[in-house]
């Protein structure tokens, strides 16, 4: 089991790390402070300066060939393994802006995987090119406000085939990325079949034109601890008799869960490795603060249990990284069922470790740690939200526990 940095990916890691630290992170604050300065104060519109920063960085990344790394096992990209990409995702996790600079941001990577893996030639021609080039954005619409969406069989959003088109009715929320004015396509999960199709055969997925479909209304941005996460946004959207072409369905009727499982595994690894990157950045901030600030006549590093806290965070990060890499390796073996419990493990552990590390860094910074003067508060909010995204902790622990117990149940039956 080789979880290390391969010779193929090592130069890419070096280049990505240098660009993130030297060119992207120095522009983060300026980019963020432009939110709400567009004409009319629209928080979900970009200023000229934001466009200049973002697109300028993206152009540099493309010129250097640092683009679409996430296309693992594909002739469209580098053809990296999941393990190789995981190391890159960690580097990108240091900056909220970095994933988009390299066209490796959620939810676009997962949506592009769906289109590339399951889309028809016509669907790929319409949507995939713009996404791969970073010219448009997308959103993934699954979660609903009126059902417990952690059990995706509860999804009740209606899609009914009438003549030459599907008629969509219902509401979705936490549609991440739907607030971005460049969002042009939704990947949407809907119920199309009856009970006779079985628990996992009642849902289908669709590609919806977000700009040119009547009957779509964005009700509000969802806030995360009171913040709207503009200009990305997590929108609450209502569909009222929204009609889309019959060929908007992906793969076929009743195959929504099949598509979801193909999409979520890689996406969870990407999220978790970016979380490791955030943990590393938080630990760096913690350590720098501890050796440059004094209290009671001594550096903070020498007060209380701070040295022990730093040591514990280093050990926790190393353990979480290794677990993430093992899950990535399991994905690379080509057996999604065998990889599933490992992916569930990292989905619980990586956000938890990163969140605890950010919390300790905030504590070391005092009041500054929860203010706008460091990235820590924003990191904390994002990581706490990640404990819900792509399945809450309790659901993943259930998967892990059932897998663990299954061995003993089988032994008992055999005995």
Q: What is the pLDDT of residues 199-230, one digit of tens each?
A: 999 999 999 999 999 999 999 999 999 999 99
In the predicted model, residues of the chain with pLDDT beneath 70 are 73-77, 262-265, 411-415
What is the per-residue pLDDT for 183?
97
What is the per-residue pLDDT for 73?
62
Q: What is the pLDDT of residues 356-398, one digit of tens each?
A: 999 999 999 999 999 999 999 999 999 999 999 888 999 999 9
Residue 397 · residue 317 · CB < 8 Å: no
Record the tokens describing residue 190, joined without a space.
């809907």
What is the per-residue pLDDT for 75?
65
What is the per-residue pLDDT for 142?
95
How far apart are alpha carbons 398 and 183 in whole angstroms?
34
Residue 169 · residue 241 · CB < 8 Å: yes
Q: Which of 193, 293, 170 has its CA nearest to residue 240?
A: 170
β-strand pairing of 183-191 with 137-141: parallel
């Amino acid at each position: 089991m080789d979880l290390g940095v391969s010779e193929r990916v090592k130069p890419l890691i070096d280049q990505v790390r240098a660009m993130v630290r030297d060119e992207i992170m120095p522009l983060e604050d300026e980019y963020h402070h432009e939110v709400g300065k567009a004409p009319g104060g629209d928080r979900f519109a970009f200023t000229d300066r934001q466009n200049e920063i973002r697109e300028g960085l993206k152009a540099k990344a493309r010129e250097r060939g640092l683009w679409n790394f996430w296309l693992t096992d594909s002739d469209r990209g580098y053809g990296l393994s999941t393990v190789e990409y995981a190391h890159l995702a960690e580097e990108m996790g240091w900056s909220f802006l970095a994933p988009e600079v390299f066209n490796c941001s959620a939810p676009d990577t997962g949506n592009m995987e769906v289109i590339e893996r399951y889309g028809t030639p016509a669907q790929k021609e319409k949507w995939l090119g713009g996404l791969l080039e970073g010219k448009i954005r997308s959103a993934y619409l699954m979660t609903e406000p009126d059902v417990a969406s952690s059990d995706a069989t509860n999804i009740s959003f209606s899609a009914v085939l009438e003549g030459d088109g599907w008629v969509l009715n219902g509401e979705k929320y936490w549609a991440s990325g739907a607030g971005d004015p460049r969002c042009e396509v939704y990947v949407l999960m809907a119920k199309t079949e009856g009970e006779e199709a079985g628990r996992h055969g009642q849902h289908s997925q669709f590609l919806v034109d977000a700009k040119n479909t009547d009957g779509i209304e964005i009700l509000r941005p969802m806030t995360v601890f009171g913040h709207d996460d503009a200009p990305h946004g997590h929108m609450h959207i209502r569909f009222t008799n929204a009609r889309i072409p019959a060929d908007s369905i992906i793969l076929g009727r009743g195959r929504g869960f099949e598509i979801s499982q193909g999409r979520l595994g890689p996406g969870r690894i990407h999220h978790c490795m970016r979380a490791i990157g955030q943990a590393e950045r938080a630990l760096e901030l913690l350590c720098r603060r501890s050796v440059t600030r004094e209290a009671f006549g001594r550096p903070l590093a020498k007060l209380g249990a701070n040295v022990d806290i730093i040591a514990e965070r280093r050990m926790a990060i190393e353990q979480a990284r290794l677990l993430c890499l093992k899950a990535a390796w399991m994905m690379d073996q080509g057996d999604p069922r065998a990889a599933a419990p490992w992916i569930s493990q990292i989905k619980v552990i990586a956000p938890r470790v990163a969140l605890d590390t950010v919390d300790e860094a905030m504590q070391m910074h005092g009041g500054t740690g929860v203010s706008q003067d460091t990235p820590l508060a924003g990191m904390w909010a994002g990581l706490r939200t990640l404990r819900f995204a792509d399945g809450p902790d309790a659901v993943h622990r259930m998967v892990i526990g059932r897998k663990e117990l299954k061995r003993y149940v089988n032994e008992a039956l055999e005995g």
